[in-house]
């Protein structure tokens, strides 16, 4: 009899896992506490950065490179581009310092033979006039990279999952875990219905510790603000002159996107954020819009007064070291955790399914060692941002 898997969570981790397990012959049921795409899910947004630039981190760089190849294949399969290879422009306010994220990424990728275009203020004035060249001194453009329309990707993956025979149930609220003979046997929902399986994959993103409280010392939810601006002439805010960008991201966290088809330019900050409970109301702190606009005044002056089309508090499922958790829970046999995205997992959606399925089946995968079950040790989440 084919083994049965219960996947909790219809975001990037959950859908990728369900599709891969199904392709390996598992009977798969996927539940989400809300609709898929869920409006509050991290995977649900207009865009996410897809890149391979990760400093000198060989594993994330390799995962990024393989993901890029597969994003291109997905575009072909879908017959439309939900991944836009507009390039990734990484700039910094001074020379690219030794040891900086910018310098490390540049030298590591160039060392691997990737073709990068270094940039100076003159290049910005000529090719990327939206940038304040007085303030941005050096950096590079990686033509391999861009952005994915994340919410639409989630919709596509759900359709694919249904087509592949994954049983997808939405708006199923958690009740309690089903434990039998010391083993996790599934979940009883808030209505009392039982969902049983041989393995339960918890892919609940920032909500993970609300249902797995014993992970509270290693995983937590962090609130991050996002703003969407509507410039008068969106054409001036598209690639090639305005690709996906990062502005001193290693020290300030600022990054953003070209205008999408609706003419909206998204700006976000990969900073330390605020620790929150995932189920609490999402409130944009006072002064955030002002903080974003003062950054824009310094860096993209022509965007600073554009009306805000929307804003959102999105949650990272942070881990203590910034790396994902993809492993069996040794204290709860029958439970597999796929979480701890730490604000940087969406780009890897094309490889996440394989990682989770190899982990579930105990197949060797050299990339899994980093994501294995571990205790909280050493530095806090904040210092992990540099590689995130």
Provide the binding-site residues for ligand FAD, judged by CB under 6 A: 8-14, 31-34, 38, 41-43, 48-49, 174, 203-207, 211, 224, 226, 268, 314-317, 339, 341, 343-347
Nearest to ligand FAD of 109, 338 (CB atom): 338
> DSSP for 235-298?
GGGSTTTS-EEEESHHHH-EEE----TTS-EEEEE-S--EEE-TTS---PPTTHHHHHHHHHHH
Nearest to ligand FAD of 40, 198 (CB atom): 40
Rounded distance between C-alpha atoms, residue 86 and residue 88, angstroms: 7
Question: Least distance in Å: CB of 161 to ligand FAD?
Answer: 13
Question: Least distance in Å: CB of 217 to ligand FAD?
Answer: 19
Nearest to ligand FAD of 216, 301 (CB atom): 216
Name the residue whose CB lies closest to ligand FAD: 11
Q: How many other β-carbons are positioned within 10 Å of the β-carbon of residue 336?
A: 24
Nearest to ligand FAD of 14, 359 (CB atom): 14
Question: Least distance in Å: CB of 298 to ligand FAD?
Answer: 21
Question: Least distance in Å: CB of 122 to ligand FAD?
Answer: 29
| Strand pairing report for 199-202 and 4-8 | parallel
Question: Least distance in Å: CB of 143 to ligand FAD?
Answer: 18
Return the closest-CA partner of residue 242 out of 319, 171, 299.
299
Contact 278, 206 (CB under 8 A): yes
Question: Least distance in Å: CB of 8 to ligand FAD?
Answer: 4
Cis upstream peptide for 37 (omega within 30°): yes
Which token pair is 328?
């069996």
Contact 41, 150 (CB under 8 A): no
Nearest to ligand FAD of 346, 367 (CB atom): 346
Residue 249 half-sphere exposure toward CB, CA atoms < 13 A? 28
> DSSP for 38-64?
-TTSTT-SS-EEE---BTB-HHHHHHH
Which token pair is 304?
């600073």
Nearest to ligand FAD of 14, 87 (CB atom): 14
Nearest to ligand FAD of 1, 191 (CB atom): 191
Is the four-CA dihedral 125, 128, 133, 139 of positive or negative sign?
negative
Contact 146, 47 (CB under 8 A): no
Question: Least distance in Å: CB of 181 to ligand FAD?
Answer: 23
Nearest to ligand FAD of 1, 199 (CB atom): 199
Radius of gyration of the chain (CA): 21
Question: Least distance in Å: CB of 70 to ligand FAD?
Answer: 14
């Amino acid at each position: 009899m084919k083994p049965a898997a219960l996947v909790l969570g219809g975001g990037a981790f959950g859908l990728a896992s369900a599709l891969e397990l199904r392709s390996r012959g598992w009977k798969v049921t996927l539940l989400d506490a809300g609709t898929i795409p869920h409006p509050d899910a991290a995977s649900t947004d207009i865009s996410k950065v897809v890149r391979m630039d990760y400093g000198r981190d060989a594993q994330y760089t390799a995962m990024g490179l393989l993901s890029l190849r597969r994003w291109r294949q997905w575009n072909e399969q879908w017959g439309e581009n939900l991944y836009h290879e507009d390039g990734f422009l990484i700039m910094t306010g001074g020379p690219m310092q030794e040891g900086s994220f910018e310098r490390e990424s540049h030298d590591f990728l160039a060392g691997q033979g990737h073709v990068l275009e270094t940039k100076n203020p003159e290049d910005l004035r000529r090719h990327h006039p939206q940038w304040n060249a007085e303030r941005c001194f050096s950096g590079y453009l990686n033509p391999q990279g861009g952005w994915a329309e994340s919410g639409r990707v989630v919709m596509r993956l759900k359709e694919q999952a249904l087509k592949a025979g994954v049983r997808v149930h939405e708006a199923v609220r958690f009740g309690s875990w089903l434990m039998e003979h010391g083993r996790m046997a599934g979940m009883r929902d808030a209505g009392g219905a039982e969902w049983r399986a041989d393995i339960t994959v918890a892919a609940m993103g920032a909500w993970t510790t609300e249902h797995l409280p014993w992970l509270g010392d290693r995983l937590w939810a962090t609130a991050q603000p996002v703003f969407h601006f509507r410039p008068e002439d969106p054409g001036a805010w598209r690639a090639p002159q305005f690709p996906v960008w990062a502005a001193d991201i290693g020290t300030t966290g600022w990054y953003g996107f070209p205008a999408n088809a609706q003419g909206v330019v998204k700006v976000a900050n990969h900073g330390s954020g605020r620790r929150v409970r995932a189920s609490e109301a999402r409130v944009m702190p006072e002064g955030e819009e002002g903080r974003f606009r003062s950054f824009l005044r310094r860096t993209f002056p022509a965007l600073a007064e554009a009306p805000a089309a929307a804003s959102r508090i999105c949650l990272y499922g942070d881990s203590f070291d910034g790396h994902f958790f993809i492993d069996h829970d040794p204290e709860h046999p029958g439970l597999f955790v796929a979480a701890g995205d730490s604000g940087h997992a969406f780009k890897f959606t094309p490889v996440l399914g394989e990682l989770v399925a190899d982990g579930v089946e105990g197949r060797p995968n050299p990339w899994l060692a980093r994501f294995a079950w571990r205790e909280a040790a050493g530095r806090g989440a904040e210092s992990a941002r540099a590689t995130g």
